[in-house]
Amino acid sequence: LLSSMAAIGVCTYFTFQFKAPDDPDPPFLPQSNKYEIHRVWARRLLLSNMATGHLGEVFFIWGLTPADTGFHLNPDDVSEQVYDTAFDPRAEENQVYLRDVCNNMFDGNDRVLMRISCPMEEFDSWLMEQSQLSSPSEEYMNNC
């Protein structure tokens, strides 16, 4: 019992002798390690985005499945694109959904600081404009 109490006392004493690291985010790997380089890069990117107030972007990608085909332990091994065979933009209801996706996303969201035009809305405007011209563009004539 006495030796246990002495061990607890010695451990407690040495625990309070530890000094906190100077860097709040100390590296755990060598600076040349790919994962450490990525961690530092991601931290800098996050800090710069927070400083400018630009906290995020939204990207839409249609026709692909979320598949990770690369080797998970090698950051240089890039995944290949896996196409979604069920994606069919030819149906009218799918085209309406694609056109309205930006409006549906931003409706009722008061956290959006700046809204830029949606590419699908621009495409819809271009289609409307071309359909009313007496001589529409060659791209419109060949594809629509």
Spatial distance between the Cα atoms of 24 and 56, rounded to a whole number of angstroms: 24
10-residue stretch averages of pLDDT, the chain, 144 residues long = 91 88 80 87 72 64 85 81 89 88 72 67 90 91 86
Q: What is the pLDDT of residue 42?
A: 81
Tell me the whole-structure pTM to 2 decimals. 0.47
DSSP H or E run through 85: none
Q: What is the pLDDT of residue 36?
A: 87
Structure tokens at 64: 């692909």
Provide the residue count of the chain: 144
Helix and strand element counts for the chain (H, E): 5, 0
